[in-house]
A = this chain, B = another copy of it.
Amino acid sequence: MEADLRRILLDTARRLLVQEGYSRLSMRKIASEAGYSATSLYLHFANKDDLIHTLVEEGMERLFQQLSAAPAEASGAPAQLAALCRAYLSFAVDNAEYYEIMFMQRSDELARFPTEKYRKARRNLELFRDTIADGQGSGAFQPGVPFVQATSIWSLLHGTVALHLAGRVDARIDRDALFASVVTLAVSGLRATRQLEPNAPLS
């Protein structure tokens, strides 16, 4: 039980995050849910922030793993971008609890995240940025500022996840259909295109 309690507490916290949301997550609940006294938490975490930061860090690491692995299967920037998007959405759905504390809290609600850990968080966005820059280099994507475009894509993905996790998407919409539509939107939105003017000749 000993050293594993740290792990148990983190997992309990994750479960509670999914079940009740961040705002109802309390140290006491984590402890009692895990079958321990509230005091025991403080043997493994300096305070609530410490526990939360640990979860955030773990989540960032996992997300990075999933995102890093994604583009390998695809060739060409558009396909790689699509793979990245799908990986992001999958991660969020499979790790809703991590996602909730990683991205769904106001930055001023959480205690300042230590700078070195913050760098890990940024790496994820950089994967998108680099893929977009690649695509621009090869002419597959429209010109633009890759970092800004990456942030736009992130916004799209985050919005999709956020509405989904908050239970705000119309029940008649199939989740996977929405996700597919979103990925398409992302890729076509960036693609180098030639507009089809309905009444104009093509060339």
Contact = CB atoms under 8 A, between A and B. Distances in A.
A202 interface: yes
Interface stretch (A4-12, A64-72, A177-185): A177-185
Given A21-B106, A138-B198, A194-B194, A173 B189 contact: no
Nearest to A180: B148
A196 interface: yes
Interface band, chain A: 35 or more
A106 B160 contact: no
Contacts of A160: 152, 155, 159
Contacts of A198: 138-140, 192
A32 interface: no
Contacts of A107: 166-168
A167 B109 CA distance: 10
Nearest to A166: B106
Interface string A133-164: 00000111010110111011111111111110
Contacts of A106: 21, 23, 165-167
A104 B168 CA distance: 10
Given A107-B167, A193-B188, A155 B182 contact: yes
Contact of A148 (B103, B154, B173, B195): B173
A186 interface: yes
A79 interface: no
A120 to B, nearest CB: 14
A198 to B, nearest CB: 4
Nearest to A122: B170
Nearest to A174: B148
29 contacts: A23-B106, A24-B109, A103-B163, A103-B166, A103-B168, A106-B165, A107-B166, A107-B167, A108-B167, A125-B170, A140-B198, A145-B177, A148-B177, A151-B163, A151-B181, A152-B156, A155-B162, A155-B182, A158-B159, A158-B163, A185-B186, A185-B190, A186-B189, A188-B189, A188-B190, A188-B191, A191-B193, A193-B195, A194-B196
